[in-house]
C-alpha cells in the first residue's frame, strides 16, 4: 500500500528550501470564519496566533501586516511604518489575484510577489508563532525570527 504523500503548499516548499523548521497544524474547515474562531477551536493562545492582512497604500504599493488574530490594525501606525500617507485593506475579492492565496488561507510566505512585510513586534516575545499555511485548514508554527527572515520583513507596532 502506497504511503499517502503530504501535499505541500507553496509556503511549506519555501520554508523547506530555506531549511527553516516548522510544525504543520491541520484542522477541519469548510469555510473560513475568522482567526479568533480557529484559535478557540484549536485551543491556541491569541498572542501566538497571527493573521495576515494585505493592504494598499496611497502610492498603490501593496504591503503585508502580520498581527495577532484578536487585534485590529491601526491604519495610521501601519502607514507610517511603511512610509505611506495612508493604507487600507485590499478588498477580499482581490486577495487571491494579488497573493495567490484565498481569504483564510493567506500566509505571508510565498505570495506571488514579495511585498514589504511588517510583523507585529509582540511576535518577538515568543519562541514560535502560528500563521496560515497557505490554504484553509492548514497552519504553520515557526519561530518569528525565521518568519521575518523568509519574508524579508521587519517588526513594528501596527495594532490599535
DSSP code, position 57: E
End-to-end CA distance of the chain: 53
Residues 27-71 have pLDDT tens digits of: 887 666 788 888 888 899 999 999 999 999 999 999 999 999 999
Residues 106-132 have pLDDT tens digits of: 999 999 999 999 999 999 999 999 999
- Give this prediction's pTM: 0.93
CA nearest neighbour of 66 among 127, 147, 160: 147
CA nearest neighbour of 92 among 52, 133, 37: 52
DSSP code, position 60: S
Could you tell me if 36 and 69 are in contact, meaning their C-beta atoms sit under 8 angstroms apart? yes
The full set of domain ranges for the chain reads 24-156
CATH homologous superfamily of 24-156:
YbaK/aminoacyl-tRNA synthetase-associated domain (3.90.960.10)
Helix (H) or strand (E) holding 39: helix 35-41
Amino acid at each position: 500500500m502506497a504511503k499517502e504523500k503530504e501535499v505541500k503548499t507553496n509556503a511549506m516548499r519555501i520554508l523547506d528550501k530555506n531549511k527553516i523548521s516548522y510544525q504543520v497544524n491541520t484542522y477541519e474547515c469548510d469555510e473560513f470564519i475568522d482567526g479568533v474562531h480557529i484559535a478557540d477551536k484549536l485551543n491556541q493562545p491569541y498572542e501566538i496566533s497571527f493573521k495576515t492582512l494585505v493592504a494598499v497604500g496611497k502610492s498603490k504599493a501593496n504591503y503585508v501586516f502580520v498581527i495577532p488574530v484578536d487585534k485590529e490594525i491601526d491604519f495610521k501606525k501601519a502607514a507610517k511604518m511603511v512610509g505611506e500617507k495612508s493604507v487600507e485593506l485590499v478588498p477580499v475579492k482581490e486577495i487571491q489575484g494579488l497573493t495567490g492565496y484565498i481569504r483564510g488561507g493567506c500566509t505571508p510566505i510565498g505570495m506571488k510577489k514579495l511585498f514589504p512585510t511588517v510583523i507585529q513586534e509582540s511576535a518577538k516575545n515568543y519562541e514560535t508563532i502560528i500563521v496560515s499555511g497557505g490554504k484553509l485548514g492548514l497552519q504553520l508554527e515557526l519561530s518569528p525570527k525565521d518568519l521575518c527572515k523568509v519574508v524579508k520583513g521587519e517588526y513594528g507596532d501596527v495594532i490599535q
